[in-house]
């Protein structure tokens, strides 16, 4: 399995506080069946001053420790990026880390309360730069929980959605679990990642969430979500996603939307 969203780099954000703690996260993930982890510290969130060069340096150091521990795990650079008005210019200037440093996909933090104002404009600007945004943990966003059609609009505009594994298994509470299942049933979950921060407080592991996904949508879709689609993303390749199941209201919006996918 490939984990596209994990806070595993030590002493950069609210993830592990030491190399030993980061290595323990990696050990748990490898034992659970994860073979690739994209390290995604917070970026541009106004709290942690994380630079691209910091991420590359920490990834190299952690991979060295992983190899010395004989863990079958590959660490790639990435970031959990918060939308800023000048994000495209920052990317052009080399300040923002894309998924696997490939320049094709960007993990974008949707937040947990509102959908940020003018978000759709920012997403469209990223797409014009040749970058596909991946919206992280939409099931934990209050606006999406109240109205899943919010995510239908964003996905319909060509963006991807990544749900947190712990939401599917209930660790984030019943509301997030219901939301995750509802999004999954409507074809709005393209990826599942751990969003791990700690070996104890928020541990890694995708296997239990994969079992939940398999029960809901079957083995083939689970393989797309946990294996095939994330593997193509880290390789910078295009991915296909299912058409979402729309309510009557969402269908009416979809018919009128000028940039819908053909």
Domains within the chain, CATH numbers bracketed: 2-256 (3.20.20.140)
**CA–CA dist 96, 80 (Å, integer):** 10
Residue 11 has pLDDT above 70, yes or no: yes
Separation of alpha carbons 213 and 180, rounded Å? 10
Q: Packing angle between helix 248-256 and helix 149-156, nearest 10 degrees?
A: 30
What does the pLDDT look like over 192-204, one tens digit per residue? 999 999 999 899 9
pLDDT tens digits, 27-57: 999 999 999 999 999 999 878 889 999 999 9
Which pTM was predicted?
0.91
3-13: average pLDDT: 97
Q: What is the pLDDT of residue 247?
A: 64
Can you say whether residue 130 is alpha, beta or left, with left for phi > 0 and alpha for psi between -120 and 50 degrees?
A: left
Please list the residues that pair with 98 across neighbouring strands. Answer: none
End-to-end CA distance of the chain: 30
For 135-151, write each residue's pLDDT tens digit: 999 999 999 999 999 99
């Amino acid at each position: 399995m490939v984990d596209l969203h994990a806070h595993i780099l030590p002493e950069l954000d609210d993830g592990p506080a030491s190399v030993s703690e980061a290595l323990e996260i990696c050990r748990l993930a490898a034992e659970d069946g994860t073979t690739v982890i994209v390290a995604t510290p917070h970026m541009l969130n106004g709290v942690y001053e994380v630079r691209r060069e910091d991420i590359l340096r920490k990834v190299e150091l952690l991979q060295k420790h992983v190899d010395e521990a004989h863990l079958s795990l590959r660490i790639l650079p990435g970031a959990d990026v918060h939308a800023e008005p000048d994000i495209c210019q920052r990317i052009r200037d080399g300040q923002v880390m894309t998924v696997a440093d490939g320049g094709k996909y960007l993990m974008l933090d949707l937040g947990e309360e509102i959908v940020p104002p003018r978000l759709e404009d920012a997403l469209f600007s990223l797409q014009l730069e040749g970058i596909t945004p991946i919206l992280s943990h939409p099931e934990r966003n209050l606006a999406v929980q109240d109205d899943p059609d919010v995510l239908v609009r964003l996905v319909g505009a060509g963006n991807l959605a990544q749900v947190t594994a712990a939401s599917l298994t209930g660790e984030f509470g019943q509301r997030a679990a219901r939301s995750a299942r509802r999004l999954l049933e409507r074809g709005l979950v393209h990826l599942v990642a751990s969003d791990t921060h700690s070996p104890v407080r928020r541990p890694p592991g995708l296997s239990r969430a994969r079992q939940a996904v398999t029960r809901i949508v079957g083995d083939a879709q689970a393989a797309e979500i946990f294996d095939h689609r994330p593997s193509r993303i880290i390789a910078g390749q295009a991915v296909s996603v299912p058409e979402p199941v729309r309510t009557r209201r969402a269908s009416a919006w979809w018919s009128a939307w000028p940039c819908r996918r053909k």
